[in-house]
Amino acid sequence: MKVPFEWLSEFVVIDMDPQDLALKLTMCGLEVEGTEKKAPSCNGVVVGKITAIDKHPNAENLVLCMIDTGRESLPIVCGAKNVAVGDKVPLAAVGAQLKDGFVVEKKKIRGIESPGMLCSEKELGLSDDHSGIFILPDECRVGRLLHEEPFVQDVILDINIPPNRGDCLSIYGIAREVGSILDQRAKLPIFNLETEANKKGKDFVSLKVLNTDACPRYVLRMINGISIKTSPFWIRNRIIKCGMRPINTIVDVTNYVMLELGQPLHAFDYQRIRGKRIEVRLAEQETTFRTLDGNERKLLQGDILICDGEGPVALAGIMGGENSEISETTQDVALESAYFNPLYIRKTTRRLGIKSEASLRFEKGIDIDNVGFAAERAIFLMNRLSGGAIIKGEREVYEKKELKTLFITYSHINGLLGTHISQQDITKILRSLDLHIKKEGEEGLFITIPNFRHDINEPADIIEEISRLYGYDRIPATRPISPLSAQKRNAREIALGTVKEFFKGAGFFELINFAFFSEKDIEYFLIPPSDERAAFVGIANPISREYAVMRTFIAPGVLKSIAYNINRGAKNLRLFEKGKVFFSKEGAPCERFAVCFAITGREAEFFWRDKYNDYDFFDIKGIMEGLMGAFGITFFPQKTSEPFLNPQRGVDIFVDGTKIGWIGELREEIVKSYEIEQSIYCAELQFDIILQKMKLEVQYHPIPRFPQVTRDFSFFIDDSIPVGMLMDKIRGASPLITSVGIFDMFRKEKRSVSFRVVFQSYEDTLKDETVNRLQEIIIKELTNINGISLRA
């Protein structure tokens, strides 16, 4: 809420500058988000007084004003009609600067030289009003620079009112807070209501409230014979500073009093109230109603309506109706000041999607005790600005309720806060907040909560009040009394740690994408409808179609990140992402963890000494082997069934007969869907299954004391025979074989593969004949297979 410092100062004495007050408010719970200095955007404009007005000799529409500037008298040519002798006016002499940097020059106007000009509010950057010269208030001092006049300059505090503090949605409400902080009492405005003694409200309108739960208090006041005008500057200025728009004297007063006291008001054109009666009731059936913004609203059972003799005239607390709206010709006004139950208002505004300054306040709860006073205040101001006669008395329905009383102990207060605030300080703070202490006991206090504090419902709320005014900075910082216990990381934390370590060490960058994707992604990856990855969880109100459903797998996001980076010149990428994926299982959403990684391009673009090959299947397979090794999991690759993998270069990963993921080259057409032109090798694993299968405990094996023996073998092997199977066969030939590797593969008519086998005994140094014997066995085992022959 925007709070003009100048207006605030009307209710409390603030002997500090606005910045200091802002800090105090912030530290007491009303966060001042910013302060804005307000001053007319002019320079060199002075306050002048009109001492004489003469006719312009050459123009009927112009006059010649003699302006006393305090030092001299200047003849100024003026075209406005609203000036009179004795008025104080802003004079911009030659050289003065007006709004938008406009500099006043000496000008001849119809033959008469004018050494300056009189200004409108608009020209001074004060408002949009350009209808005439800005007549200054009488307290302005002749000769003083206008922008130094206190009434045009101000500091506006932008205060973030917490949602539970509806009582602070007014200048008076803020003043009340300031009063608590500065140990003062905010003063309500004082005025004297002069009413027409022989006319009584009850002769003009009847009032009935059918549901006092929805509307426990309703006040109607009348003013007759007014004339609607533009409001004076001081009212308009305050309304503008608070971020609203001035309209006319009647509407401005309702807004002004709402801003001042926090009570929303509604003015009806009395002549348009049919049957001269007002009835407050809940809508009984579905009906339509045109609000004054011109919209046709659908009303449902339970909405609070203000009705006249024939039907609704206002949607209570939210917006008036077109049918009873004030117009330029309105003469008699019926003014409504009421308390509507916040629950009803919230329900209606939420459903209709209407937010007005009034409903905002009703929703949070206003001060029911203030309803009548606000009506008086508004009627008084209307009378002052628009004339007319105030009708004596008001029509009112008021169902009073007893005030809430709470009991709180001193030990509860200090126990919860960890403080030693004295009883004296506690009562002092409570009194400063208008929290009435009904009874002071040994142990604690009975406290009566005033009606404007809707947020105080239990002892904890009172503790908050005490703590914030006592000052959070005065509460000590302590160590909890309860003993510390060592915390064990859970299995997922540990496993995720392993993933992060592994990929970091393997030169991968971690991505974090939004957990949304689109149905298009499922389509692009050719996921069949029967696949669980097609059973997505949709978002009812997505921010865009691109992010309309929860991702069922991570790869599409990774692919988008690859495309993003390739488009920016990074073609060699090693990326991984971990995170949740979401599925709809029999209509219910469920979620799992998954890990995806991808490589594309090559290890590096160049190194002057070395040559790099583009990544291929064996690079990604190696990463998978490394990752599984880190988890202590043995996996079995099988020919892939994934529709998005190149079937020649993709495998599904199985652990203990369960499929846990896939790796391989993405099909060209899929990569193209994401506008990528290069090969992508990618993998995705279900993390939850890894969690079940992983073995992270390390068991030490003694280092062998005897030397190892290495032998190489080369065979011609038909393409139909998988080398992986042969490696297993060699490994199985003897427990003395500790490792089998492939150090060469080339193709010359036939495929030649060279194995390097390491023999190792833990018991003694291997003898040549032992190794030779094993060598014979290996050769025999392999060459026995059709399609394998030993290379000489």
- Considering only residues 27 to 56 of the shown chain, the ones binding another protein according to CB under 8 A are 27-29, 31, 33-34
Q: Which of residues 451-470 bind another protein (CB under 8 A)?
A: 458-461, 463-464, 467-468
Q: Closest distance between another protein and the C-beta of residue 564, in Å? A: 7
Q: Which of residues 486-505 bind another protein (CB under 8 A)?
A: 486-490, 492-493, 500, 503-505
Please identify, using beta-carbon distances, which residue of 220 and 318 lies nearer to another protein.
318
Count residues contacting another protein (CB under 8 A)? Answer: 93
Please identify, using beta-carbon distances, which residue of 89 and 466 lies nearer to another protein.
466
Cα four-point dihedral sign 132, 137, 142, 148: negative
Binding map of another protein across residues 577-616, x = CB under 8 A, - = no contact = --xx-x------x-x-----------xx--xxxx------
Please identify, using beta-carbon distances, which residue of 589 and 741 lies nearer to another protein.
589
Taken as a whole, the chain contains a residue count of: 792
Q: C-alpha distances in angstroms, 249 versus 246, 331, 338, 708?
A: 8, 12, 21, 103
Among the residue ranges 25-33, 110-118, 123-131, 739-747, the one whose residues contact another protein (CB under 8 A): 25-33
Q: Which residues pair with 390 in a beta bridge?
A: 195, 223
Please identify, using beta-carbon distances, which residue of 487 and 720 lies nearer to another protein.
487
Among the residue ranges 320-328, 441-449, 563-571, 769-777, the one whose residues contact another protein (CB under 8 A): 563-571
The single residue among 192, 198, 329, 482 that binds another protein, judged by CB under 8 A, is 482
Please identify, using beta-carbon distances, which residue of 331 and 419 lies nearer to another protein.
419
| 3-state secondary structure at position 672 | helix
Other Cβ atoms closer than 10 A to 389: 17
| One-letter amino acid of 753 | V
- Give the Cα separation of 387 and 787 in Å (integer): 113
Among the residue ranges 143-151, 473-481, 625-633, 717-725, the one whose residues contact another protein (CB under 8 A): 473-481
- Give the Cα separation of 331 and 348 in Å (integer): 32
| One-letter amino acid of 54 | D
Q: Which of residues 413-442 bind another protein (CB under 8 A)?
A: 415-419
Q: What is the dihedral of CA 731, 732, 734, 736, to 10 degrees?
A: 40
Please identify, using beta-carbon distances, which residue of 589 and 724 lies nearer to another protein.
589
Please identify, using beta-carbon distances, which residue of 493 and 519 lies nearer to another protein.
493
Q: Which of residues 529-558 bind another protein (CB under 8 A)?
A: 537-544, 547, 550
Q: Is 242 in the site for another protein (CB under 8 A)?
A: no
The single residue among 477, 698, 703, 725 that binds another protein, judged by CB under 8 A, is 477
Please identify, using beta-carbon distances, which residue of 55 and 489 lies nearer to another protein.
489
Q: Which of residues 511-530 bind another protein (CB under 8 A)?
A: 511-516
Please identify, using beta-carbon distances, which residue of 253 and 366 lies nearer to another protein.
366
The single residue among 153, 206, 427, 565 that binds another protein, judged by CB under 8 A, is 565
Q: Closest distance between another protein and the C-beta of residue 138, in Å? A: 37
Class of residue 59 by CB neighbours under 10 A (exposed 0-12, middle 13-18, buried 19+)? middle
The single residue among 210, 475, 696, 742 that binds another protein, judged by CB under 8 A, is 475
Please identify, using beta-carbon distances, which residue of 385 and 462 lies nearer to another protein.
462
CA nearest to 118, candidates 147, 95, 91: 91
Q: Which of residues 164-193 bind another protein (CB under 8 A)?
A: 164-165
Tokens of residue 250, six digits: 């009647």
Q: Which of residues 279-308 bind another protein (CB under 8 A)?
A: none
Q: Which of residues 612-671 bind another protein (CB under 8 A)?
A: none
Close Cβ partners of 264 (under 8 Å, ≥ 6 residues apart): 254, 258, 317, 357, 358, 359, 361, 362, 366
Tokens of residue 723, six digits: 């080398």
Contact (CB, 8 A) for 212 and 324: no
Please identify, using beta-carbon distances, which residue of 501 and 523 lies nearer to another protein.
501
User: Using H for helix, E for strand and C for coil, what is the string for 709-768?
Assistant: EEEEEEEEECCCCCHHHHHHHHHHHCCCEEEEEEEEEEEECEEEEEEEEEECCCCCCCCH
Q: Which of residues 307-366 bind another protein (CB under 8 A)?
A: 343, 346-347, 350, 363-364
| 3-state secondary structure at position 252 | helix
- Give the Cα separation of 574 and 572 in Å (integer): 7
Q: Closest distance between another protein and the C-beta of residue 140, in Å? A: 32
Q: Closest distance between another protein and the C-beta of residue 634, in Å? A: 25
- Give the Cα separation of 610 and 607 in Å (integer): 5
CA nearest to 154, candidates 258, 45, 237: 237
Residue whose token pair is 């009803």:
344
Please identify, using beta-carbon distances, which residue of 190 and 477 lies nearer to another protein.
477
Q: Closest distance between another protein and the C-beta of residue 609, in Å? A: 7
- Give the Cα separation of 158 and 37 in Å (integer): 11
